[in-house]
Structure 1
Amino acid sequence: MTTETATARSGSVQSVERAFELIEIIARAGGETTLSGLAGDAGLPLPTIHRLLRTLLALGYVRQLPNRRYALGARLIHLGEQAGQQIGTGTRPELQKLVADLGETANMAMLDQDMVVYVAQVPSPHAMRMFTEVGRRAHLHDTGVGKAILATLDDETVTELVTRAGMPTPTPKSHGDLDGLLADLARIRQRGYAIDDEEQELGVRCYSVAVPGAPTPMAISVSGPLTRVDLGFGDKAVPLLEAAAARIARALG
């Protein structure tokens, strides 16, 4: 967002927009950045940035590290948790419908810095089912929701995210190198959905789609054992996931 854009917005408070812009710049930089980085990205005079930072520091939304870099403040943690819970609660009926229609566990997750965090889940009625604790953070490169989210981003951003987080391989089918991941993401962008084919856990398959136009990148998924979640299941699941994601997008908009 440019200063001109902020000025042109009817009824907006420019100082508030600028303060949030600084927070977003720090978040996009991986959670911390330098004063020169803020100045370059925000396009604001240094005195203005200093004034905004003093306020954000005093309120706890930004903190200054010993190396003089600026980082996201602890006060944002509670806000993020509450926002995630609210989003998860509001979208739970869509997950319940997916479980009713498909019989497998449905999840919703969102991007959390360089990881993905699960914000809602409705379990399958089957005795053998998948369970992921709400609030759990996971890598982006080896989960269905993570890859669906990554596919909405450009390759440069993907590279930055997975480089910071690393690419562990919990199973022999997990992506262990960037080139393989980027090739998979290209296929996901082309077909419109992601598949976690035993990449997070052996014997488990997951279909996932991103929520279009979400304010924070997010995705929904259904997952279960290979014996039930096969290619035929995917043919039925993907249109239902896409329809649910579109309804969630409208509700968030």
Structure 2
Amino acid sequence: MSILNKAVILCGGRGTRLAPLTDDRQKCMIPLAGKPVLLHVIEHFKKYGVREFILITGYRKEDVMEFFKDGSQFGIQVAYTICEGGTAPSLLAAKPWIKEPFFFAYGDLISDFDLKALFDAHTKKAKKQGAIVTLALLEFPGDVSRFGVAEIEDNIKEGRIEKFIEKPTPSETSSRLINAGLMVCSPEVFDYLGDPDDFSFEKQVLPRLAKDGKVYGVTMDAKSLWIDIGKYEDYQKARCILEKAMGQGQGMI
């Protein structure tokens, strides 16, 4: 199955909340069910035909580069760019490799989302509404204050995102739709990057894009696997789920 051929993945996090697992390695390289977290992420993209990866790294970059090298041993092509800044300048650093729409993801978020559904929404619906980013959303039952929260017009589960609030308080929004850390971007997204004051793509750039009507949101299947490997308890949860799936031969990721 081939949809888009290129993915940009952020993989420069320190993972201080995952200590001691991250005392001697980069966050996305901690082992999970027998392989680094980042390899799980890449293998899911590979199932959908993605073969070219731009890995944006910084902190302990050698952990990532020495493991993946040029990607040939995994049947992919890997290019690297180094950025010690935030997520906004990190995405901008990938611009020289981008000429067409691409996936943009975080290297510490594991999911089994339907990437074709996200791609189809971008090409068949979002573009018709003038959007240049199609964001995977998840209806989250718990505390949304840890995440970026989207408000879609008419309070539906798919459509143009009217507002985006990063880590809101309960009084700021009633929406339960969180940024799932995966999106399809058209190259025009780079027109919104480059401001020297921008550090965070989530806190600064996405709200600006939403204000201009440039972000389309798609709520993923509620039964989808989605785990943010941000805290130690989340890591332990992911390990149990993946080891169980692999033991049953499901090959979820």
Q: TM over 0.5, yes or no?
A: no
Q: Larger relative CO (CA 8 A, sep 6+): 1 or 2?
A: 2
TM (normalized to structure 1)?
Answer: 0.28
More helix by share: 1
TM (normalized to structure 2)?
Answer: 0.28
Question: Based on CA coordinates, which of the two structures has the bigger radius of gyration?
Answer: 1
